[in-house]
Amino acid sequence: MNYQQLAHPKSAANGIGRRKSEREGGMKLDNRLHSGKSGISKTGSIGSMPDSKVGGNLSPSHDRLVYFLTRLIGHHVEVQVKNGSIYSGIYHAANVNKDMGIILKMARMIKDGSVQLHRANTESLNKAFAKTFVIPAKELVQVIAKDFSLAGDGLSNELQLEKRQEILIDSCISQARHVDSERELKPWIPDEDDPQRPELENVFDIPSDRGWDQFEVNETLFGVKSTYDEDLYTTKLERGPQMRELERVAGRIAREIEGEETQDLHLAEERGVHFHDSFNIDEETRFSSVYRGGVVDDSGYVEEEDILLDSWNTETFGSAPASIMIGSLDGTDTDATQASARSSSTDGPETSHSSVGVDLSRIGADDAGRLSSELTCKSVLASGDDNRAQERSLSEQRGHTELDDAGKLPVSETFNHSISLLKGKSGSSHKGGVLAKAAAPASSTVALTDHNKMNSRGDLLETPTLAKSGETQSVDSHGRPGSSTSSASDRLGAASAPTGARLTPSSSVGSLSSEKSNLNPHAKEFKLNPNAKSFVPSQTPVRPVSPAGDGSFYYPANMPGVHPMHNMPIGVGMGGPFAGHQPLIFNAQVPPGQSPQTYLHPNGPHYGQHMLVAHPRQLPYMPGFPPDMPYKGRDY
């Protein structure tokens, strides 16, 4: 086998300057390695090296040396040279043809041999790193490699270990500082006068039946009696004649359950079913506990909306401006409403935002009332259809109608808005401030409990007055949380998102006073409308709908000329953390798998499913309120 010249440095002359910045030829290294490797593989037959070759350096011991040198590549080594200096670096190559010269990379002197030893260590200075450092054979005294694994054969597992070490950046970083303080560990030698404790040495040798019962000992020593009764924690098995029978049955059931086919990734994993071989499922999906996807229970919305609609129709469903919001949904307009509602429900996603708005603007006041109810229904249905576009447009419509006929539509507006809120899907950004106005009372009405409903009705009576005070003002008065109308959708989205399921009109109507469970038996299947417009929050913060039973309301401080209105059942109470002026940006487009009922707006108050409170809800706090937004407080 051929031991070629190992990385013999070009300028190598022995004894000449040690610091060379030459580029180490990777080639030479390869040569050496290859020859080394081939040499090693033949080491088995010691003494029989027929093709050993050139230079006659073949001896098994030489092979071993080469083997070690090869294994050493990449290791941190310390090299001591003739004058006593010690250099530390990464071993790169060596030439062992005649004599051993070494090449280190990133080497530096850590101990200067020429310095008198009695000099204090603190005065030693760090030396610069040499990229490539050649130590001629004549200078070499010894090479020390620490932490060298002897039997390991440099196979892939070691490589992985190295890789892992590289990846542990943090620990590397934090430990890198202390590299110098590592000491060679020495086993502990007990002092001579240390008492011998032979029993301690055998702690792990003795099997468990050591004859020491801790409970016994405890009792004797301290009189502590153990009151543990296993049956408190487990079911006692009746070990009787039927035991076998029961066992069999139980086993069968267990097998059945475990053998069930499951779509759940985690269950499959547990049962060892290779469910996901064909999917590109990453680790997060496989092992995370975050539930993404699955059944969408959006049905609750639809059903409840429908029910609400019906119940509303039976309620005061008039278009009288001064009528309560709910009143606006009068029976008089029921048919029309229904019809329009139905028809509107057919509005496809193509109902564009702008178009609706435009339409709305053209709506005359005389039609306002009707339209409002229509819109109301529409909004209701829109929600039911999970058609955001519709809702949005409806919201817009309402908003616009509000604009045109402030006095007439406030109630319906709000109602609609509240519905939108409930749905939490509307993402339209309506420009007018009307929506806000409308929304507030709407939300309050829609909000929840019977109590609230009553209150809101009363409150709503006042809405029209508010509405007349002006658009923006009305907005404020409605306590629309400091949002311009454009944010209506935002609010809606935010508000309704968490509580949508709960704050269904149905509940407010009182026909369904009991809380609905999450699973609605009549629920319609959620059909994703891919054309639905994505929710784009406006510039105003979103306020979630909340029960407004207390009649208190919050009016956004940034709205100039806000009139504090008392007993406005605006869906205030919620407060909740707003992001100040920052629009709450969230993708209102509920992903298909997400159950809207369980969706909690990240910024909104997490009232949970039972947000309907009968009693006035205090405005909890206004976190995240920008300092420039003076909070005028609430009036109860």
Partner 1 sequence: MATDSAAAAAAAAAVSDDFAIGCFLSIQTTFGDEFEAQVVAFDAPSNILVLHILFPISTEGSKAGSRRNLRLLKADYIKHFTFLRHGEDPLDLSKCYIDLDAVRAREQSALRQAEAGAERIGVGVTSEAQSIFDALSKTLPVRWDKSIIVVLNEVRVSSPYVPESVSGGTAIANERVKKVLELERKKLQVRPTQ
Find where tokens 């139905």 sit. 342
Of 60, 9, 61, 59, residue with least CA distance to 32: 9
Rounded CA separation 569/251 (Å): 60
CB of 129 to partner 1, least distance (A): 5
Q: Is 398 one of the binding residues for partner 1 (CB under 8 A)?
A: no
Stretch that binds partner 1, among 42-50, 274-282, 330-338, 597-605 (CB under 8 A): 42-50
Q: Is 136 one of the binding residues for partner 1 (CB under 8 A)?
A: no
Q: How many residues bind partner 1 (CB under 8 A)?
A: 82
Interface with partner 1 (CB under 8 A), residue from 27, 150, 200, 203 = 150
Largest CA distance in the chain: 114
Specify whether the CB–CB gap between 307 and 385 falls below 8 A.
no
Q: Is 47 one of the binding residues for partner 1 (CB under 8 A)?
A: no
SS3 507: helix
Interface with partner 1 (CB under 8 A), residue from 14, 59, 242, 288 = 59
Nearest CB to partner 1, comparing residues 151 and 232? 151
| Backbone dihedral angles phi then psi of residue 246, each to the nearest 5 degrees | -60, -40
Rounded CA separation 22/38 (Å): 28
CB of 70 to partner 1, least distance (A): 5
Q: Is 111 one of the binding residues for partner 1 (CB under 8 A)?
A: no
Nearest CB to partner 1, comparing residues 144 and 237? 144
One DSSP character per residue, 21-46 reads -PPPPHHHHHHHHHHHHHHHHTTTST
Nearest CB to partner 1, comparing residues 59 and 288? 59
Q: Is 20 one of the binding residues for partner 1 (CB under 8 A)?
A: no
Stretch that binds partner 1, among 95-103, 256-264, 421-429, 494-502 (CB under 8 A): 95-103
Name which of residues 178 to 237 contact partner 1 (CB under 8 A).
178-181, 184, 186-187, 189
Rounded CA separation 536/359 (Å): 21
Give the total residue count for the chain. Answer: 636
Rounded CA separation 217/215 (Å): 5
Nearest CB to partner 1, comparing residues 156 and 196? 156
Interface with partner 1 (CB under 8 A), residue from 8, 25, 65, 336 = 65
Q: Is 54 one of the binding residues for partner 1 (CB under 8 A)?
A: no
The end-to-end CA distance of the chain, in Å, is 98
The residues, ordered by sequence, that sit 6+ positions from 270 with a Cβ below 8 Å of its Cβ are none
Specify whether the CB–CB gap between 400 and 439 falls below 8 A.
no
Rounded CA separation 125/127 (Å): 6
Interface with partner 1 (CB under 8 A), residue from 12, 106, 267, 629 = 106
Q: Is 145 one of the binding residues for partner 1 (CB under 8 A)?
A: yes
Q: Is 515 one of the binding residues for partner 1 (CB under 8 A)?
A: no
Interface with partner 1 (CB under 8 A), residue from 4, 35, 80, 444 = 80
Interface with partner 1 (CB under 8 A), residue from 6, 49, 134, 143 = 143
CB of 65 to partner 1, least distance (A): 4
Sign of CA dihedral 361, 534, 570, 597: positive
Q: Is 27 one of the binding residues for partner 1 (CB under 8 A)?
A: no
Q: Is 53 one of the binding residues for partner 1 (CB under 8 A)?
A: no
Interface with partner 1 (CB under 8 A), residue from 13, 14, 22, 158 = 158
Q: Is 175 one of the binding residues for partner 1 (CB under 8 A)?
A: no
Rounded CA separation 238/73 (Å): 68
Of 328, 401, 408, 319, residue with least CA distance to 360: 401
Of 453, 375, 444, 365, residue with least CA distance to 407: 365
Nearest CB to partner 1, comparing residues 40 and 268? 40
Nearest CB to partner 1, comparing residues 142 and 226? 142
